[in-house]
Structure 1
């Protein structure tokens, strides 16, 4: 039996994590994007400060749903605990990041973040997996990168999420590492897609 995979990209934790792309330009164009997902209707919009607590809860739930055979407990615990609502708020306030939230029936069900041509995060609450929310967030981030003049986007996928990205047209560039804290990193897959 396969477990629901809730986290679809890594990108938030240690502030000195190595990036796969060049530094970004400011992502000033922020607006609401109504999106038809495959099974439901959702609204994707720029995240607001009042979303921080709900998005931190999405992050915690998503990482908590990652099967234990994929990463050892010390990695899962550090990854899960790496984001506080305060830290989430600081990410949302960064003018170099486009931070989107997916809402369904009035609730935050996922979020994504873009920095230049680097997709830093796509997370979906495990109770809302396989309903098209992750794909809708991913497409909105890709569209923004394309509108900002980038021909290709990059990301680091958690091992549980790599198949999601392959299904969405990404090329696996090989193994990578993502720094969780000063002395702990997690294996990931480096990926890219022409947009």
Structure 2
């Protein structure tokens, strides 16, 4: 799948369970090198099976977009104006430009709303990805998961300009 064939659309409520499945699969695919098994389990809300209820609640305040291939959701992003809150791509589809397309869409949307800078809180695994998308690391910080477990993350930002919006 090349970047110009990636189809993005606003998420619908029926996408909540596929997005939950992607969230779980993406975290399960991570090796316990940067976070412990316990932290990875907490990050996926102690779930092995999809449950879209948390995503449905989040959809009331966050904007969700999904990447689709042949009507199958392959990845998603959630954001609020200038903050990218979540970005997940199913492991079978990683490395095909889906994450890059979703980040690009988010940056374009933020610019269209008059923002000149965007932020995200990156897991230690995702830090390199965001650096390649033009983000800079601001600081390491503790992040509290829904389960109240604290994990280290990297606060990151990206300055938006006409020249880097489509990257």
TM-score over 0.5 for the pair: yes
Contact persistence 1:156–1:190 (CA under 8 A): yes
SS in 2 for 1:89: helix
Matched, 1:156 2:156: no
Contact persistence 2:45–2:147 (CA under 8 A): no
Provide, for residues 41-67 of structure 1, a one-character-per-residue CA deviation record: whole Å limited to 9, x for no partner: 121111000101100000000111111
TM-score when scaled to structure 1? 0.76
**What pairs with 1:1-195 in structure 2 (closer than 5 Å)?**
37-38=2-3, 41-81=5-45, 84-94=51-61, 97-181=62-146, 183-195=148-160
**Alignment RMSD (CA, Å):** 1.6
How far is the alpha carbon of 1:181 from its aligned partner? Answer: 3.3
Number of corresponding residues = 157
How far is the alpha carbon of 1:87 from its aligned partner? Answer: 1.0
Displaced runs of 4+ in structure 1, greater than 4 A? none
SS in 2 for 1:145: helix
Contact persistence 1:157–1:191 (CA under 8 A): yes
Comparing 121-130 with 97-106, which one deviates more in the overlay? 97-106
Distance 2:103 2:25 in 1: 19
TM-score when scaled to structure 2? 0.88
Query: Greater RCO between the two (CA within 8 Å, min separation 6)?
Result: 1
Segments of 5+ residues of structure 2 without an aligned counterpart are 161-167
- The structure with the largest helix share of the pair is 2
Segments of 5+ residues of structure 1 without an aligned counterpart are 1-35
SS in 1 for 2:138: strand
